[in-house]
Structure 1
Amino acid sequence: MKTVLAAISVMVLMTVAFAGAPQHAVRAGNGAPSGPHYNLNIIGVPKDKSADMTGDNGHRIFVDLGSKSGAAVTTRIMLSQSFDGTFEVLDANGTDGEASFKLPAPGTYTVWARALGKPGGSATMTTCATDPLDPTAVICSLENEVFVRGTGKSQFKNVTDALTTIVLAPGSDVALACGSTQVSLFDPCLTGFLWQYDNNGLKLLQVRFYY
């Protein structure tokens, strides 16, 4: 009887934990879930933008296009926390090396993305932050997401972990200070969270936040 009750208790706990995460049915077409979402387009352009795009919440961020071969062009997308559950572009012009985006702390949404545009381009996104004890030191996750625009229809993939978590080296000073090798976005043990976007000729990365 005790064994049965213990098993039931475990099942109840698992059900409660699972219910706390957003649930979406995945469509067969492009691989993305169905349901309400915020759409963000990261657009690679061959020439820098000169207009001031601060406060320009147009659901898109412009970054340098770079070339399909050779060194990638890096843009930092600075991240700030939203406390009302909203997503918003704060600075759309990343062609000067830096853009900014506001989003909630992870746990109430999932992130999906796919590469679009002409075949051949690629981009890598890595979640990074700064060490509160050394603001000049940028700490990037050991894991990232690589997006390659191949031929045929592009499919969405779940990139929630890579874009909301920083994976640290075991035994490193920052991992010991944070008490874990995995640090969630906006964890107070780190500051200055950002996405490092390294572009090799990808014209469009479509990112969706399903809530």
Structure 2
Amino acid sequence: MPINNARRPMDSHHYKNGGETVKKVLLMVAMALVMVLSGALAVSAAPKGIDFNGAHFNLNLIGKAKTMPGDYNNPDRHTMFVPTDTSDFSFNLNTPNNLDQETMAGVKINMTQGSEFAVLDGNATDGEGSFQLGPGKYRVYIAVKAKMPKTPGNVQIDGWVEAYDNLGQLWYYINVGTVTVSKNKTWTDASTLFYVNTTEDTFDFLTGSEANYEPGLGMWVFDYMAGLDAWVTDDYNLSDLAYFWQFQNDGAKLIQVRFYPVN
């Protein structure tokens, strides 16, 4: 039987299905464009002078349900283990202090600054970890990338400056920033944790407009502590200065922290 290769006109059934397919393809293309544009907007939202896709140090805080064995002290590491649920955790404060309390909720992550980035104590599942920043000043971004099932996956981080007043024989704990991060597709600007503004400065050490420091942020926290350490007045003689994070986790399994150098 000869084969008829002539094209048959497309009937209404075929035309309808073809139209639906085209609509689906166009919808998928539109959704893809929205995702691309959303990503572009997220990048463009980065502070002026910061290349969000440029060089940075990445620290991964990995949530664990149980206490990890060992200390994981390795300067080359980019990871630190933290509890996925810190509701039963607290750490001791020096007393007497201006907060009139002996403990603080969550786990403590000590922050210092040195010649390079380094994870000094990578195991905070025992209640305390330590991290060293490299030299310079940074803008800092945080994102929760994963959470445990049936948990909010929220993370709250408070930055604290600790100082002892030799004149008043009192320990001071100064909150210099609070950031709450939830599971989503955007990065939260957490730079306020590392800068002290005139409102947060309990000692009235900062002078002039905040515009004299990092615009909109204030003084780099480690510069602030160095200044306080050398500053003596009739009211204060401060020593033993330190900076740490009060870290509280409600189910997040992976928290990423990015440090971008400020030019």
- Judge same fold: TM > 0.5, yes or no: yes
Deviates more, 1:73-82 or 1:42-51: 73-82
Q: Which residue of structure 2 aligns with residue 34 of structure 1?
A: 53
State the shift of 1:167 in Å: 5.0
State the shift of 1:90 in Å: 0.7
Higher relative contact order (CA 8 A, sep 6+): 1
Once the two structures are superposed, the pairs formed by residues 40-119 of structure 1 within 5 Å of their partners are 40-55=59-74, 57-66=76-85, 74-82=106-114, 84=115, 86-104=116-134, 107=137, 109-118=138-147
User: What is the aligned-residue identity percentage?
Assistant: 26
State the shift of 1:132 in Å: 2.9
Give distance in 1, aligned partners of 2:176 and 2:55: 31
Structure-2-length-normalised TM-score: 0.57
Change (3 A) 1:106 1:199: farther
> Whose helix proportion is higher, 1 or 2?
2
State the shift of 1:117 in Å: 0.6
Q: Structure 2 unaligned segments of length 5 or more: list them.
A: 1-38, 47-51, 90-104, 211-217, 230-240
> Which aligned segments of 4 or more residues in structure 1 are displaced greater than 4 angstroms?
29-32, 70-73, 167-170, 180-183
- SS state of the match for residue 54, structure 1? coil
Change (3 A) 1:179 1:155: closer
Residue type of the alignment partner of 1:116: K
Once the two structures are superposed, the pairs formed by residues 1-211 of structure 1 within 5 Å of their partners are 28=40, 31=43, 33-55=52-74, 57-66=76-85, 74-82=106-114, 84=115, 86-104=116-134, 107=137, 109-118=138-147, 120-133=152-165, 137=171, 139-141=173-175, 143-150=177-184, 154-160=185-191, 162-166=192-196, 174-176=202-204, 178-179=205-206, 184-186=220-222, 187=224, 188=226, 189=228, 191-211=241-261
Residue type of the alignment partner of 2:139: T
Change (3 A) 1:167 1:200: farther
Q: Answer with 1 or 2: which has the greater Rg.
A: 2
Query: What count of residue pairs does the alignment treat as equivalent?
Result: 174
Residue type of the alignment partner of 1:42: L
